[in-house]
Amino acid sequence: MNVLVVGQGLAGTLISYELFQKKIHHKVVDKGLTNSATMAAAGICNPVTGRNFVKSWMYDILLKKVDETYPKLDQLLSIQAFKKVKIWRKLTTIKAENAWLNRTDDPAYKTFFEGNGLPIKKSFFTGYEAHYIGIVGARQVQISGLVQAYRQWLKNRSQLIEHSFDELELEIKPDGFLYLNEHFSHIIFCQGAIPNKSGYFSYLPFKNAKGQSLICKSPLYMEKDLVKNQFFLVPQGDHQFWTGGEYEWNAEGTNPTEVFRQEYETYINALFEDPVEIIHHRAGVRPCAIDRRPFLGRHPLHSNMLIFNGLGTKGTSLGPYFANHLVNHITENTALMEDVNILRFQ
User: What distance in Å separates the CA atoms of residue 81 and residue 32, rounded to the nearest whole number?
Assistant: 19
For 39, residues 6+ apart whose C-beta sits below 8 A from its C-beta are: 33, 143, 144, 147, 282, 284
pLDDT tier at 35, thresholds 50, 70, 90: low
- Ordered by where they begin, the domains of the chain are 2-41+144-205+291-345 (3.50.50.60), 76-140+207-286 (3.30.9.10)
User: What distance in Å separates the CA atoms of residue 232 and residue 220, rounded to the nearest whole number?
Assistant: 17
User: What distance in Å separates the CA atoms of residue 236 and residue 226, rounded to the nearest whole number?
Assistant: 10
49-65 tens-digit pLDDT: 988 899 999 999 999 99
8-34 tens-digit pLDDT: 999 999 999 999 999 999 999 999 876
98-132 tens-digit pLDDT: 999 888 889 888 889 888 888 888 887 766 788 89
pLDDT score, position 185: 98
Q: How far is CA 71 from CA 13, 22, 291, in A?
A: 14, 18, 30
Q: Phi first, then psi: what are they for 171, rounded to 5°?
A: -105, 125
220-262 tens-digit pLDDT: 888 889 999 888 999 998 899 999 877 887 676 778 889 999 9
pLDDT more than 70, % of the chain:
96
Q: State the average pLDDT for the chain.
A: 91
**Burial of 241 (C-beta count, 10 Å sphere; 0-12/13-18/19+):** buried
pLDDT tier at 197, thresholds 50, 70, 90: low
| Number of C-beta neighbours around residue 308 at 10 A | 28
87-97 tens-digit pLDDT: 999 988 889 88
For 51, residues 6+ apart whose C-beta sits below 8 A from its C-beta are: 96, 99
